[in-house]
Amino acid sequence: MPADLLAGLEPPPPVREELGPGAVVLRGRVLGVVPALLAAVEHVAEVAPFRHMVTPGGFEMSVAMTNCGPAGWVTDRAGYRYAAHDPMTGRPWPAMPDVLRDLAQAVAEEAGYPGFQPDACLVNRYEPGARLTLHQDRDERDRGHPIVSVSLGLPAIFQFGGLKRTDPVRRIPLAHGDVVVWGGPSRLFHHGILPLKEGTHPVLGARRLNLTLRRAL
């Protein structure tokens, strides 16, 4: 097939949007590797099933979660933390698939963070009505590394604020294939997801998957 026709079958190049100091959205960045990402998530969930964790205050989270990599983020009555073992099974979290690690490294470098070596990938599964309230990612030992966040499935509204909870909050629509990277001056900015609206995605149905890759240990 001629090269010009092949080019028409490839995803368009990502569009870069600056969110703030050290924070960017790369629109459509992972559209070309969605099947590989979904296969990786499916493998992870077979070993460490999705579950609704409980906050220290005793509330069940509306978002279902699982992890892969040497460190997995957990929450229960004892607090928020990273753990080497899945509390549901007592086994180590599944290894991080190469496609997730390689993608995170490449995307982080594109966003201005070369040398990123993620050791934790938190996978969130949203269904209509699920949300994630404004929070800071503070459980990592070294906050000099960025957060890489991949959106798949139903669209969502990403909230991105500032260092204080009372700072103004932007609302950024995120679509299937978008990636958000933030670090440096914005590393501890408050962020969250508004309640997911009803809908059906052609690939994931009535679901949204969010993969957040971090350096935790």
Domain limits, the chain: 15-214
Residue with tokens 């998530």: 41
pLDDT surpassing 50 at residue 4: no
Which 8-state DSSP code applies to residue 142? -
Q: Give tens-digit pLDDT for 145-173.
A: 999 999 999 999 999 999 999 999 999 99
Q: Which residues pair with 85 in a beta bridge?
A: 92
Separation between Cα atoms, residue 41 and residue 103, nearest integer Å: 14
48 touches 93 (CB < 8 A)? yes
pLDDT surpassing 50 at residue 3: no
pLDDT surpassing 50 at residue 1: no
CA atoms within 13 A on the CB side of 31: 14
**pLDDT level of residue 217 (50, 70, 90 thresholds):** very high
Candidate CATH numbers 3.40.190.10, 2.40.50.100, 2.60.120.590, 1.10.600.10; the one for domain 15-214: 2.60.120.590
- pTM beyond 0.85: yes
Separation between Cα atoms, residue 49 and residue 32, nearest integer Å: 26
33 touches 99 (CB < 8 A)? yes
Best CA proximity match to 133, nearest among 173, 168, 161: 161
Q: Give tens-digit pLDDT for 9-66.
A: 566 677 999 999 999 999 999 999 999 999 999 999 999 999 999 999 999 999 999 9
CA distances from 178 to 29, 61, 125, 151, 165 (A): 6, 24, 16, 5, 25
179 touches 117 (CB < 8 A)? no
The whole-number pLDDT of residue 87 equals 96
The whole-number pLDDT of residue 13 equals 75
Q: Give tens-digit pLDDT for 103-133.
A: 999 999 999 999 999 999 999 999 999 999 9
CA distances from 202 to 20, 41, 98, 154, 210 (A): 32, 18, 26, 9, 17
198 touches 207 (CB < 8 A)? no
Q: Give tens-digit pLDDT for 190-214.
A: 999 999 999 999 999 999 999 999 9
148 touches 200 (CB < 8 A)? no
Q: Is 146 exposed, middle or buried (0-12, 13-18, 19+ CB in 10 A)?
A: buried
Separation between Cα atoms, residue 19 and residue 71, nearest integer Å: 28
Out of 1-10, 119-128, 178-187, which region has the weakest mean confidence (pLDDT)? 1-10
CA distances from 126 to 7, 59, 80 (A): 33, 17, 20
